[in-house]
Amino acid sequence: QWDEPRVCSRRYLKVDFADIGWNEWIISPKSFDAYYCAGACEFPMPKIVRPSNHATIQSIVRAVGIIPGIPEPCCVPDKMNSLGVLFLDENRNVVLKVYPNMSVETCACR
């Protein structure tokens, strides 16, 4: 991770359901690429971090420093993808559910 860019961006994260103890009832997938967002949202923010208007204003106010204690905007998921999960419910019936927002496509400053 050390050579990761400083600026807000998507970082790789593979989630293995066995690591979180859900593999006893999840049939498929066994693991999936979830990713996560990390990095700075400091003024001036490059276009790539796709700041919202509010984030831009907040980062300027923080840079100007007149009002103390204003944090920089947060690096959060912007576009996300769904994941289909095949699992056993409490009655051990097989269920397929498509959960939204399970993996990160892009990150942004908010």
Partner 1 sequence: SHMAPARSSSPEASENLLGHKDPPHSQGNTASAPEAQDMLSVHMLRLYEKYSRRGARPGGGNTVRSFRARLEMIDQKAMYFFNLTSMQDSEMILTATFHFYSEPWWPRAREAPCKQRAKNASCRLLPPGLPTRQHLVFHSLSQNTATHGLLRGAMALTPPPKGLWQAKDISPIVKAARRDGELLLSAQLESGEKDPEVSRPNHQAPYILIYANDLAISEPNSVAVTLQRYDPFQAGDTEPGAAPNSSVDPRVRRATQATGPLQDNELPGLDERPAHTSHTQHYHKHELWPSPFRALKPRVGRKDRRKKGQDVFLASSQVLNFDEQTMQKARRK
- Contact residues toward partner 1 (CB under 8 A) are 21-22, 24-30, 82, 84-100, 102
Residue 41 CB contacts under 8 Å (≥ 6 apart), including other chains: 8, 49, 51, 55, 59, 72, 73, 74, 75, 109
CB of 18 to partner 1, least distance (A): 11
CB of 90 to partner 1, least distance (A): 6
CB of 77 to partner 1, least distance (A): 12
CB atoms within 10 A of CB 68: 6
In terms of CB distance, is 3 or 24 closer to partner 1? 24
Residue 49 is given by DSSP the state G
